[in-house]
Amino acid sequence: MFTGLLIVLLPLVLGYLVPVRRASIMAWINRGVSASIYLILLLMGVSLAGLPDLGTQLSRMGGQALLLFVVISAFNLAALWWLSRRLRLDLGEKRVIDGAPTSKLAAMAGSLSLVGVVIAGLVIGLMLVGRWGTTPFELAEHLAEWVLYVLLALIGCQLRNSGMPLKQILLNRHGLFIAMTLAASSLIGGLAAAPMLGLAWNEGLAMASGFGWYSLSGILIGEHLGPALGGVAFFNDLTRELLAFVLIPLVMRRYAPLAIGYGGATSMDFTLPVIQQHGGVRCVPIAVVSGFILSLLSPPLILFLVAL
């Protein structure tokens, strides 16, 4: 049972052991991560096209994603609201980061493009149906597995060379509290949603362990629980990010931990400019630490849970 877990975790660990000192190499690693994500999501779309009775499966997938999102978000929002009442943050003045997106649409462009990649893969898969049987879908699944190993190694390298030392993480108690609250409430929500979705308890926990990292959660879940549940995980975490873009401006000044934490792992990248724009520069290290902890926790936790 745990042999498969160790095989998949090995690239992540090996990547984490590699120090990178040249910015040019780090830039290539970042491009490799982006390219791997796009390729795997394209292949996930192709695999979805190979599902029997696709229309029914997609309808069911949408319903499951919505249910999972509502249940987990309810626990997240309640827990982060509770934390916001007890963890007061002095936001200070607001200053905009140079080059930050000036609109929610600009900030969401990256996440929406990933949806387009999945749809493109689905269209390609539908074009292949009936021509070569199940061969293209089997090839897509095998290729996605190997690209996943490369992606995990590159992500491990990214995490190692992110400039976030352990001391800085442990000393930023606000970021640590926000991350732990988001993680714990997500897992409780996943456990509560599991029987409603007809999933085993560990599968429900795994589905909730993406913490907003939709590009990775969909890939890992799809690889181990099938493309349909991979799609559910992807859209659940993607919807979290989209709602975060709406919530941040509305609640930042009154419930800063909720605004920073709800985006989950994306608070260190995609939602960070919006957090800074509406909360000020003092929110930035808190958001980065929170997002980094959740990004570090998500891959091994998902892999551990699906291996149970």
> Tens digit of pLDDT for each residue in 11-45?
878 888 888 888 888 889 889 888 888 888 888 78
How far apart, in whole angstroms, are the C-alpha atoms of residue 126 and residue 76?
37
Confidence of residue 176 (pLDDT cuts 50, 70, 90): very high
How far apart, in whole angstroms, are the C-alpha atoms of residue 291 and residue 39?
24
| Residue reference for tokens 């509770």 | 82
Q: Are 257 and 83 contacting, i.e. CB atoms less than 8 angstroms apart?
A: yes
Pairwise pLDDT comparison (40 vs 184), residue with the higher score = 184
pLDDT value of residue 274: 80
How far apart, in whole angstroms, are the C-alpha atoms of residue 90 and residue 174?
11
**pTM, whole model, 2 decimals?**
0.78
178: pLDDT strictly greater than 70: yes
Pairwise pLDDT comparison (67 vs 247), residue with the higher score = 67
- Per-residue pLDDT tens digits for 98-118: 444 445 555 566 667 777 888
Confidence of residue 160 (pLDDT cuts 50, 70, 90): confident
Angle (nearest 5°) at CA 162 between 159 and 163:
135
How far apart, in whole angstroms, are the C-alpha atoms of residue 242 and residue 284?
19
278: pLDDT strictly greater than 90: no
Q: Cα–Cα distances in Å, from 236 out to 164, 233, 244?
A: 28, 5, 13
Q: Are 272 and 291 contacting, i.e. CB atoms less than 8 angstroms apart?
A: yes
- The most distant pair of C-alpha atoms in the chain lies apart, rounded to whole Å, by 62
Angle (nearest 5°) at CA 186 between 181 and 191:
130
How far apart, in whole angstroms, are the C-alpha atoms of residue 269 and residue 221?
22
The rounded radius of gyration (Å) of the Cα atoms in the chain is 19
Average pLDDT over residues 189-194: 97
pLDDT value of residue 97: 46
